[in-house]
Structure 1
Amino acid sequence: MVGIEALPFSSTDRETMLAKLKSEEFDILIIGGGVTGAGIARDATLRGFNVAIVDKNDFAFGTSSRSSKMAHGGFRYLKSFEFGLVKESEAERNWLRNDYPNLVRPLPIVAPSFEGEKYTMTILKLGVFLYNFLDKGKNFRKGYTVKDINKVKEMEQGLTTNGLRGFGVIYDTNIDDGRLTIESIKEAVFSGKCVAANYVKITRLEHDAAGKCCGAWASDQEKAGDEFLVKARIVVNATGIWTDTLLQNKPAGYPAKIIRPTKGVHLIFKQEDVPINNGFGITSHIDGRFYFVLRRENHVVIGTTDTDYKEDLDGPACTKEDAEYLLSTVRLKFPGAKADFEHMVGSYAGVRPLAAPRVKEGETPSESSVSRNHEIIRSEDDLVSICGGKLSTFRVMAEDLMLKEVLPLAKVKIPGKTFDSKKNIARKPYLMGMTRQAFDAEPIVKEFATSGKLDGEQLAHLYRQYGKAALLILASTKEEPKLLEPIVPSEPSKYAPWILAEVTFTVLHDSPVHLVDILARRLEIQWMVHPSKQAAAARLVASLAGSMLGWDKARQAQEIKDYLAYVQRNSFFYDKPLE
């Protein structure tokens, strides 16, 4: 049996996957291919369920590829006394860091305290103490506080000391949320118990004579008029911000709309223009909101905002007003930073699915009352829905749903079949995970490091993003040296480390259907490369991917056009044509 790094998972096999959806009956149909649905698929297959998972767009299309790119414990939730959520989130962050070390990497977060701000040094000390205590000593390092301004200058020369009282340091992690999602789905597929298809839209639920869910009608978004029934004993709604579209017949105590969508935007700069050594959690000088300025290797990610959103859920975008809100405080606290539109590299926006909790009998439900915790809802027709929660706790959310609702339903709906009901079944190492020490010890890595065919930045990038699969990618370039060519040759590798071999890998093993899937969600080029360089990258990748996926010239041109339109919508700071 091949390892998961060589798992065939390509859209060239789409017809085979669709045929299985049309002909088989599944134990569970999961609607929604974000990180929540992906976590459920991984957990369910480990328990022995046969699963189908579909998404109307690409996997990780929504919030799951547009977060702050962190697995974190939720330091800011301490001020609202959500100790249980912080404890749970820290435990899950530690698991991911230990069991997926290439993708989930430690990141120190500095939280400065300035005169006139609500976070005094006393509050910071208490917060750091609680963060350490709830973590049970299992974090990468123990958090601490600093009041000596000279030490501040040693650590972060770019941070202003005007009015600075000191700062706290805690440890969280960087992560590629889209990669985490796709690898979770691939682990389910690798088990042999999961069929996964993107661009398959659920149009309506199917019910049996007793009015209970027994599947759903689906439409292939790539082939007009192709509607079919996916039969399943249990149906799970894990559609995130689209939860209310499917959720009917809710139990008493919930508002008419459970999801309160809020928009969060992020801005990207080169680290040389916003010179920080660590991540930062800062408070806005406008309204006191807490947000991040994050070191992500050689880039800096700034965000996020949190504003109510009532527009198109499929197409949120950052505006100048959103960006200026974030940048105005960055300029004050990092006066030497080139935190302006001229130096911005990219931006992206996501919609967070905050969930309204169920209220007690006699109380009136409110859409404005939302929780950071997740909600699990079993409707009268036995549709099981899950929404809310955090990226860091996706595994716990999946397990909670399985143990509380799916397994009890399975006893009734899938008689004669037994499933594993133990806790923490998915709290195990990711199959693609690899330590840097093990990676560097591989003969092929040593060969490339000494030959100079790839530089240190490129090898480090391949390790971070792909883990064990990086070895397969390197091997492919020995067979076809052209694949060593950079995708963005006009940028130094520290800012653009991608090579063509990554395109061939993702086409064969990551199930992209469109060019935007590759450049926005598999490789992250959409928001890490300046708009002026996007057209050249799009043409290069479309040519290679198209040759593998059977795209003719017209299809390639359309894919490029669609992708550049997507980039343009997320490039308010650049008003020139993308060509």
Structure 2
Amino acid sequence: MTQDRLRRLEKLRRKERPDVLVVGAGINGISIFRELALQGVDVVLVDRGDFMSGASAAPSRMIHGGLRYMENGEFGLVKESLAERNALLANAPHYVRPLPTLIPISDHFSGVASAVRRFLGGKAQPGKRGSLIVRLGLTLYDLYAGAGRVLPRHHFLNRDSLRARWPTLRSDVICGAVYHDARITYPERLGIELVLDTEMAATQALAVNHVGLVAQKEGRVVLKDNLTGAEFTVTPGIVVNATGAWIDMTNGALAVRPPRLIGGTKGSHLVIANDALEQALGDTMVYYANRDGRVCIVFRHLGHVLAGSTDIRVDTPDNVRCDEAESAYILAALREIFPAIAIGDADIIYRFAGVRPLPASATEVNAEISRDHRCEWLADDAGASMPVLNLIGGKWTTFRAFGAEAADAVLARLGVQRRQGTEKLSIGGGRNFPADKDAWVARVAATSGLPSERVACLLERYGTRAEELCVTSDEALRSLPNYGRGEIEWLIENEQVTRLADLVLRRMAVAMTAELSMSGLEELATIAAAALGWDGQRRASELAGLRSLLARDHGLTAEMLRRRNLEEGLSDVRQQETAHEPAVSGR
């Protein structure tokens, strides 16, 4: 255990009566933690797992206004989402960037009758959207983006223009609409940077991962360190339940008669390595309706292709994973929209799934469940011994607005005035992000002595925080040559890494990018063991646990990891043979 974690646990032990305890360190819990801390509130954030380790680690990697939400009449949510999208483009430019998006259209009039029925208060199953309904939706979308727009307005392409740009689209597509939203490269890292920013700006705030709420006893909350088994008790003035899909379970530990608030749905995604599909997509996301009317997405992400998603009711959020039926569904949808491209199971390099924390609903159509967010205090008759505020619903894009709304509710209860907003507050490596990246890279390369290519890679990975990293040792890892030993040690030391999975799955993206091999896992485990003081038994346990998790939850089996070992070995041999070949002189 590092000195930093020992210090945090000791600080937690001494915090007997914090103003607020936030339970759940997903993106919404982190957001309210930041909002409260910046107002001077004594606030503690805990999570039974790692930061950003639940549904917040499994989004579609889109930062968007939610074009589809207008079908349910959630115009206010769309307007708020577009404002938050624009704010993230400004506040986190190192991770959030524009994403041009194509909607392929097969006819002109589909969806009009359904839209009329919804407008009149009726029910309608999801279905195809024709050019008229898409044009109307995108016109409103542009309007809601506001006068101070940061992305281009939508435009339509006729059949010839569409075929010239995307020749492999299915043959019945007659036109296409192109509009802009945004994407996020490292959602887990953005959440962690928010935690780091908050603790730096507000010294009274404390965030600790792998500490879970286990019970309420005699007016006190019992917390447990899931690494050592040690228990702590605190008596917060208010508890914020930000555990997402686990809200009802958390309330079960806090209240005698907890209400049912959540009815989540599972969304699964695939990461696909397919050169033809990558080439067909280019820099554009394709946003299309499957035969059942469900909206699907596909776009290039971190050197491969991300495709999704599903929308399936689940009874419990624990142990969800993308199953074979979901994989088949996503692949079938891809083959329908790109019938000329061979896409198969062998192309899948990674799978992930999360449970959307949607409000409990009796509707039989999942798409009709609101994607909006709300705050709800536990009623007095629930039997909790302290006020509990539940953060229900929400989407990744609106985390800041949701956190601010929830914080205002807590501040009113505490009688504390807001003294700072976060609408224009830069996040982590987005602070002082250069307009001229090449000039920034040249300056840091000259100062640090690192090659420009390496500095550019670190800027992409960490934003302007890379300048701090560029003063460390940069010996490349043998099995992960795009990473340096000093870089891994810096992550462990500065970002509350306590488990091997924290490092591999949330501080890095190597599992998703097909860079990770069995030898890569071994090398990262060795560095982590040295930095965190693990003995051989603990190192082996962490390694075995992560291998099992990768296979079970992400389809990344030991066989796949070992096969990459062989590929690495062949690559090394080829490099050695090339190095020893005699130079060929020209004539």
Q: Same fold (TM over 0.5)?
A: yes
Distance 1:284 1:429, change over 3 A: same
Partner residue, 2:425: 428
Structure 2 distance, partners of 1:575, 1:51, is 42
* 1:299 CA drift (Å): 1.9
* 1:449 CA drift (Å): 12
Partner residue, 2:490: 505
Q: Is it true that 1:463 corresponds to 2:459 in the alignment?
A: yes
Distance 1:60 1:250, change over 3 A: closer
Is the CA contact 1:106–1:140 (under 8 Å) kept in the aligned structure 2? no
Superposed CA deviations along residues 157-201 of structure 1, whole A, max 9, x for unmatched, are 4323x1112111121111122112111111111121211111101
Gaps of at least 5 residues in structure 1 are 1-9, 209-214, 358-363, 412-417, 490-496
Q: Secondary structure at the match of 2:208?
A: strand
Q: Secondary structure at the match of 2:263?
A: strand
Gaps of at least 5 residues in structure 2 are 111-126, 381-385, 563-587
Partner residue, 1:334: 338
Distance 1:481 1:463, change over 3 A: closer
Q: TM (normalized to structure 1)? A: 0.85
Partner residue, 1:7: none
Is the CA contact 2:377–2:389 (under 8 Å) kept in the aligned structure 1? yes
Q: TM (normalized to structure 2)? A: 0.83
Partner residue, 1:534: 517
For 1:172-191, list aligned pairs within 5 A.
172-175=181-184, 176-191=186-201
Q: Is it true that 1:324 corresponds to 2:360 in the alignment?
A: no
* 1:572 CA drift (Å): 4.1
Name the amino acid aligned to 1:298. G
Structure 2 distance, partners of 1:34, 1:245, is 16
Structure 1 distance, partners of 2:474, 2:315, is 49
Partner residue, 1:118: 128
Partner residue, 1:282: 288
Give the one of 47, 52, 75 matched to 1:60: 52
* 1:524 CA drift (Å): 1.9
Give the one of 213, 227, 232 matched to 2:236: 232
Is the CA contact 1:259–1:367 (under 8 Å) kept in the aligned structure 2? no
For 1:6-155, list aligned pairs within 5 A.
11-24=2-15, 25-115=17-107, 118-155=128-165
* 1:50 CA drift (Å): 1.6
Superposed CA deviations along residues 392-423 of structure 1, whole A, max 9, x for unmatched, are 111111111121x2112112xxxxxx54256x
Name the amino acid aligned to 1:540. E
Is the CA contact 2:349–2:555 (under 8 Å) kept in the aligned structure 1? no
Q: Secondary structure at the match of 1:33?
A: coil
For 1:162-201, list aligned pairs within 5 A.
162-175=171-184, 176-191=186-201, 192-201=203-212
For 1:164-313, list aligned pairs within 5 A.
164-175=173-184, 176-191=186-201, 192-205=203-216, 208=219, 215-224=220-229, 226-247=230-251, 256-270=259-273, 272-275=275-278, 276-277=281-282, 278-285=284-291, 287-311=292-316, 313=317
Distance 1:207 1:264, change over 3 A: same
Is the CA contact 2:428–2:465 (under 8 Å) kept in the aligned structure 1? no
Q: Secondary structure at the match of 2:105?
A: strand
Partner residue, 1:566: 549
Structure 1 distance, partners of 2:210, 2:365, is 30
Is the CA contact 2:474–2:485 (under 8 Å) kept in the aligned structure 1? no
* 1:243 CA drift (Å): 0.3
Give the one of 526, 534, 540 matched to 1:551: 534
Q: Secondary structure at the match of 1:26?
A: coil
Task: Number of aligned residue pairs: give it.
Answer: 529
Provide the identity percentage. 27
* 1:244 CA drift (Å): 0.4
Superposed CA deviations along residues 318-339 of structure 1, whole A, max 9, x for unmatched, are 1121011011121121134342
Distance 1:147 1:172, change over 3 A: closer
Give the one of 441, 444, 447 matched to 2:445: 447
Partner residue, 1:415: none
Name the amino acid aligned to 2:489. T
* 1:229 CA drift (Å): 0.5
Is the CA contact 1:486–1:498 (under 8 Å) kept in the aligned structure 2? no
Superposed CA deviations along residues 127-168 of structure 1, whole A, max 9, x for unmatched, are 1111100101444322323232232234334323x1112111
Partner residue, 2:578: none
Is the CA contact 1:49–1:419 (under 8 Å) kept in the aligned structure 2? no
Larger Rg: 2
Distance 1:223 1:145, change over 3 A: same
Structure 2 distance, partners of 1:220, 1:470, is 32
Give the one of 389, 393, 412 matched to 2:394: 389
Is the CA contact 1:355–1:375 (under 8 Å) kept in the aligned structure 2? no
